[in-house]
Amino acid sequence: MNTIKSFKSILNKKDGFSIVELVVIMAIMGVLASISVPSALRWLYKEDQNAYVRELSSFLNLVRRETRRWGGSCTIKTKLLGPGLEGKGLDMTCLGMNQTSRNNSVSQIPILKKTVFQEVNTDFSFTPKGQLSTNNNYNHVVFVVGGRHDQSPGGGDNPKCLVISMPSGAIRTGIYSGSYKYYSNRVASRFNNYINENSCITY
Alpha helices in 92-175 (DSSP H): 99-107, 151-154
Of the given ranges (14-28, 30-44, 84-98, 139-153), which has the lowest mean pLDDT? 30-44
Q: Residue 145 above 70 pLDDT? A: yes
Question: Coil, helix or strand for 82?
Answer: coil
Residue 197: its pLDDT value, please?
87
Determine the Cα–Cα distance for residues 117 and 186; give it in Å rounded to an integer. 7
Question: Coil, helix or strand for 151?
Answer: helix
Question: How many structural domains does the chain have?
Answer: 1
CATH of the domain at 160: 3.55.40.10
As a whole number, the mean pLDDT across the chain is 82
DSSP, residue by residue, 19-69? HHHHHHHHHHHHHHHHHHHHHHHHHHHHHHHHHHHHHHHHHHHHHHHHHHH
Determine the Cα–Cα distance for residues 113 and 81; give it in Å rounded to an integer. 11
Residue 16: its pLDDT value, please?
58
Residue 37: its pLDDT value, please?
46
Q: How many CA atoms lie within 13 A of 104 on its CB side?
A: 11
Determine the Cα–Cα distance for residues 176 and 202; give it in Å rounded to an integer. 8
Residue 22: its pLDDT value, please?
66
Of 19, 8, 6, 49, give the one whose Cα is nearest residue 182. 49
Residue 196: which domain range?
Answer: 2-9+18-202
Residue 79: its pLDDT value, please?
95
* Residues found in the chain: 203
Provide the whole-model pTM.
0.78
pLDDT band at 69 (very low <50, low <70, confident <90, very high): very high
Please indicate whether residue 11 or residue 176 has the higher confidence score (pLDDT): 176
Residue 128 CB partners (closer than 8 Å, separation 6+): 67, 68, 71, 72, 73, 96
Cα Rg, the chain, nearest whole Å: 24
CA-CA-CA-CA torsion sign (102, 121, 78, 113) = positive
Residue 39: its pLDDT value, please?
58
Residue 155: its pLDDT value, please?
47
Q: Residue 7 above 50 pLDDT? A: no
Q: Residue 153 above 50 pLDDT? A: no
Residue 136: its pLDDT value, please?
75
pLDDT band at 171 (very low <50, low <70, confident <90, very high): very high
In percent, the amount of the chain with pLDDT more than 70 equals 73
Please indicate whether residue 51 or residue 139 has the higher confidence score (pLDDT): 51
Q: Residue 187 above 70 pLDDT? A: yes
